[in-house]
Amino acid sequence: MNTLVLTLLLCLAVGNPAVSGTEPGFRTAITEKGFDYVRSVGIPMLEKQLSGMSISDQKGKASSPIGKIDYTVSSIKGGTMSIPKSSITLASSSGITISASDASLAVKADWHYRMESWPHVSDHGSCDISVSSVSLTFNVVLGKDSSGHATVSAGSCHADIGHMDVKFHGGASWLYNLFSGSIASSLKGSLASQACSQGKDSINKQANKAVETLPVTVNLDKSALINYALIASPAYTSSYLETQHKGEFFLRAAPTAEAPLTPNALPAISKLDNMMYVWLTEYMALTAGYVYFKSNTLHNLITPKMVPGSSPFSLNTTAFKSMIPALYSKYPNQAMTLFLNNTAPMTVKMTSGLIVGSIPATVQVNALSSANVSTEAFVLQADVHFNATIGVKEAGGKTLVVGEAYYMYTDLALHSSAIGNFSIAGLEEGMNALALIGIIPFLNKQAAAGLPLPVVDGVQFTSPVVQLGEGYIVVATDFDYKPSLGVASDRREAHNVV
C-alpha cells in the first residue's frame, strides 16, 4: 500500500518536545491539489503492489455429479491490477479517506479435488480468476504522541468484490466449472479480507517506520538546533490538512531551554492555489537571534590584515587623525584592532513588503603598539540595521530556506573613552565598512547555509514562491515525489546538517 504511505508522509513533519496551547512557530498545509497529486502518483504504486498480492489457499466441500468432493484452490497469485477511479478526501471527524473503485484484477491459481468416497478419484489443474467492480476504502488518522512525534493509525477498511468469474482448466475442469459460483463466493471474502489486512499492515508498520526517519530536531551548527515539534494533532478540513509545529531555535548545549519569547498569531488559511504552503514566523527568527546571542557567536576580532585594500579606511590611528585627534595624539601611527561584541539578541521584523533587522553591539577600539601591546582607546555602541531577502532552494537532497542580508545603516553612540570625549560624527563611513567586514558576512554565512525544512525524503518543491506577511513568511509551492531507494536509519532525535 505504498500509495497510503506516500499520502501520509507528505502530510507530516515532526519534532520534539511538544508544547500545547501555544501558537505555532512553523506551520504547513497540504491542499486538495496536493492530495490530487499524491493520488496520481500513489495509485499506480497501489496497482503494482496489489498485482502481486497472494491469497491464502481455499478449501471446502461441494456436491457434484460424481458425488461429494473435497477441493482445494491453492497458489492463488494476483496478476495485473487496474484502478481506473480513485479519490482522497479529508474530513474533520474521520481524518483521511482513501478510496478506489471499479478496480479489476486477474488472478491465477491451481486446483485439486478428491472424492470423499471410494475409489477416491482425484484430479488437478489450473484456473483463471477474473475479478471486477472492486472497491476499497481505507480510513487513516494522523496524530501525535506525548513527545510531539507524529503517529499514524489505520482505522476502518472496507473492501467489496462486485463480480468474480472462475474458469478451470485441465483434468476434470468441466466438473469444477459446474459449481465455480460457490467457489467464487468463498474466494470473494478471502480476497476482500486480504486487501484490507495488507493495507492496514502497510499503514501501521511501513508508514510509521517511514515517519521515524523524519528529523525531530535539526542541528544547524555548533551552537544551534531547530525544533519542529508537533504542538497539536494534524487538523483536517474539506480543503486542506494543517500541521502546527514548535518552530523554535535552541542552544545545542541546552536543547530544552525555552527562549523568553511568544509566537505571534498566524492568519487563517485562505489561499489554496498551490499543493502546499509552509509558514515561517517572525518568532523563529527572534529565537535564532536569542540563541546566537546566548552562545556568544557574534564576537569578532577585526585586525588590520582583515581590512581589504579597497576599503576607504585602514586600521591605523593615522587614518583617524583628522576625525579623532585625541586618538592619534595618544597613540601616534599605531595599528588598531576592533572587537565586535553582540550585546543583545538580534531583532527581526517581517512585514508584507520587507524584512528588517537590527543587531545591538559594542565595538571596542584598541591601539596596538610596536611591542604588540593592546590598549583600549574607546568603545562605541553600534546598532546595525539591515534588510534581508528570502528564497528556497534544493541542495544535497534537502529543501532549504536561504536568505541574504544587505547593509542599511548604523546608529552610533560613544559608550566609553580612555582618550576623552570626542565627536563621532565622522565615523559613519568607517562603521559602514566595519559592518560590511564583521557583521553582514556573519549573517549571510548563516543564511546561505539554509534552514532545512522537514520534508519527506524524495519530496522536492517545484516553483516555490516566497511571500511576505505581517509577522511571517509563507512559501507557496507545488512538489514532486521520487521514492528514495531505501529507508534511512532512525533520525527522529537529531539530524545534522553541519
Mean pLDDT of 208-229: 82
Distance from C-alpha of 443 to C-alpha of 404, rounded to nearest angstrom: 8
pLDDT value at 344 more than 80: yes
pLDDT in tens, 100-114: 899 998 888 898 888
In sign, the C-alpha dihedral spanning 432, 436, 442, 448 is positive
Lowest mean pLDDT among 27-41, 172-186, 380-394: 172-186
Task: Give the domains, in start order, of the chain with CATH numbers.
Answer: 2-8+50-144+154-208 (3.15.10.10), 217-496 (3.15.20.10)
pLDDT in tens, 351-363: 988 999 999 999 9
The whole-number pLDDT of residue 18 equals 38
pLDDT in tens, 264-280: 899 999 888 999 999 99
The confidence score (pLDDT) of residue 316 equals: 92
DSSP of 421-463: ----GGGHHHHHHHHHHHTHHHHHHHHHH-EE----TTEEEEE
CB under 8 Å to 188, separation ≥6 — which residues?
Answer: 161, 164
pLDDT for position 20:
43
Nearest to 385 by CA among 362, 364, 415, 356: 356
pLDDT of residue 339 exceeding 60, the answer is yes
- Res 277: pLDDT: 95
Query: Which is higher by pLDDT, 125 or 281?
Result: 281
pLDDT, mean of residues 8-37: 69
How does residue 199 score in pLDDT terms, banded at 50, 70 and 90? Answer: confident
Using the predicted structure, report yes or no on whether residue 12 has a pLDDT greater than 70: no
Residue type, 388: A
Cβ contact 109:153 at 8 Å: no
Lowest mean pLDDT among 66-75, 373-382, 405-414: 66-75
Q: How far is CA 440 from its chain centroid?
A: 29
- Residue 4 identity: L
Whole-number pLDDT of residue 458? 77
pLDDT value at position 367? 96
Query: In the prediction, which pLDDT does 360 show?
Result: 93
* Cα 487 to Cα 459: distance, rounded to the nearest angstrom: 14
Q: Taking residues 327-340, what's their average pLDDT?
A: 94
DSSP string, 73-92: EEEEEEEEEE--EEEEEEET
Report the pLDDT value the prediction gives residue 4, as an integer from 0 to 100.
Answer: 44
Average pLDDT, the chain: 83
Q: Are 139 and 201 in contact (CB under 8 A)?
A: no
pLDDT given at position 254: 93
Alpha helices in 179-269 (DSSP H): 180-201, 208-211
Alpha carbons 163 and 422: distance in angstroms, whole number: 95
Confidence of residue 441 (pLDDT cuts 50, 70, 90): confident
- Quick one: pLDDT at residue 258? 92
Q: For residue 5, is pLDDT > 60? A: no
Retrieve residue 25's grid coordinates. 512557530
Give 119's pLDDT tier (boundaries 50, 70, 90).
confident
Give the confidence band of 85 by pLDDT, cuts at 50, 70, 90: very high
- Highest average pLDDT, of 283-287, 351-355, 455-459, comes from 283-287
Q: In this predicted model, which residue has the larger pLDDT, 182 or 129?
A: 129
